[in-house]
Structures are given as C-alpha cells and as structure tokens.
Amino acid sequence: MARPYKPGPKQFVFAADDGNDQQVSVGDPQEAYMAFSAFFRGRESDTYTIKDEPAGQRLVLMPRLGVISRIKDGDQPRSEHLKAGRANRYLPSAMLFFENGYAGLDRFGQWFSDLSDLDASPETRGAARAATFTTEAAAIEEVARIWADSGIVDPSDQYYVFFDSHGVDDDRAERAELLQLIEFLGLERVDAPAEAAGGEVWVRSDPRLAAECARWS
C-alpha cells in the first residue's frame, strides 16, 4: 500500500497541448499515478506536464521528441533533461515524481542540464555522463543503477550481465557510459557467450559491484 501524503491530500495539475488541464487532489502517490495514467492514455499530445505548484516542481513528458524533463523553481532553479529511450519510461518517471518529486528521479537515467546535449550522438552523451563521476563510490553506484535497469546475474554467479537480451542498437548512450565506468573502476569485462544478444556487456563479479547491486535488487 502506498504511503499517504503527509500533510495530505496533495494537489497536482496535469496539463497537455489540448488545453484541458486537470487538477487532482490525491491521498497518496499510487492514487496520483492512477489519475495521471488515465490522463496520459486518454489523449495524444506532444507534451504532458505534471505540476506540483506548492513545491515549485514540474515533470514534463515529450513522447514525440523522446524527452523527459524535470524542473525545480525557487532560489536555485534547476532543470534537467534525458532521452527516454523507450516508450515505457514515461509513466514510471511520473510515479517516481509522485513519490519523491524532483529528487525522486535522480537515479532514473542520464540527466543533462542543457537540452541541446540530447542532440549529441548516444556515444557522446554516454561519455559526457561518465565523465561526471569522479569518485569510486559514485561510479560504482551508477554502474549498479544501469545494471538494475536491464541486467541479470549469470546463473554461474560469476558474471554480471548488463543489457540482458538487448540488441547492439539499444541503450547506446548507457552502454557507452558503462564501458567508460568499467575502465575507471578497473572492473574486468569478459567476452559474452556466442549465444548472447549483441548488446550485452558481461563483467566478472567484483566485491564492490556485488555489494552495490545487492542494494538495487
């Protein structure tokens, strides 16, 4: 059961290109998610916005551009953007926003402060993202985040498999980021089995990796 908002109920405004904004008053994040899911699926729009006006925060979904943006107003305004990559990313991002606002999306993907950065090639975006991690602790946490999104542990328990069953054209930005972080951390990448999908990345188990991935399991 979803944890109720305290204080509650909480108000959100849903907006789309058709101008038919909807204000909802909800008792918990699951109720907010269900209301927004109906709003999102009930129309076709270039842009969908969830506004938490009392908190000065917004989540903007742009399915036709493949972009998700999060915005925080206030004394230190901030906005960040990411390539959604897959159509099934939009509603999960909304749920994280309903649960913990702007900060709830910290670990959702490769955020960039400049929207134009999303126009770069996936490999360039991945390299730029990897370069932002300058400590072992932050880098291993990011590697575990990538693994948790699409990875498995090989049945032999010797290898962590990233991008399980994904093709080589999938997840290019995150793969580029991962490969740089593997090198930075000194993890051992091994050849994938012949039957593995072309986009899989296999890494030999490492105590640091095992400990961090366990936190994300």
pLDDT of residue 19: 87
- Is 116 in contact with 124 (CB distance < 8 Å)? no
pLDDT of residue 142: 94
pLDDT of residue 13: 98
pLDDT of residue 88: 86
pLDDT of residue 74: 83
- CB-CB neighbours of 38 under 10 Å: 11
The alpha helices in 62-101, defined as continuous H runs, are: 90-100
Rounded to two decimals, the pTM is: 0.79
pLDDT of residue 87: 79
pLDDT by 10s per residue, the chain, length 217: 578 999 889 999 999 998 889 999 999 999 999 999 999 987 889 999 999 999 999 999 999 999 999 999 988 899 999 998 777 899 999 999 999 999 999 889 889 998 988 999 999 999 998 998 999 999 999 999 999 988 999 999 999 999 999 999 988 999 999 999 999 999 999 999 999 999 999 999 999 999 999 998 7
Burial bucket for residue 186 (CB in 10 Å: 0-12, 13-18, 19+): exposed
pLDDT of residue 150: 87
Residues contacting 15, CB < 8 A, separation 6+: 21, 22, 48, 49, 51
- The backbone torsions φ and ψ at residue 66, rounded to the nearest 5 degrees and listed phi first, read 70, 35
Give the three-class secondary structure for 54: coil
pLDDT of residue 1: 57
pLDDT of residue 20: 86
User: How far is it, in rounded angstroms, from Cα 108 to Cα 186?
Assistant: 24
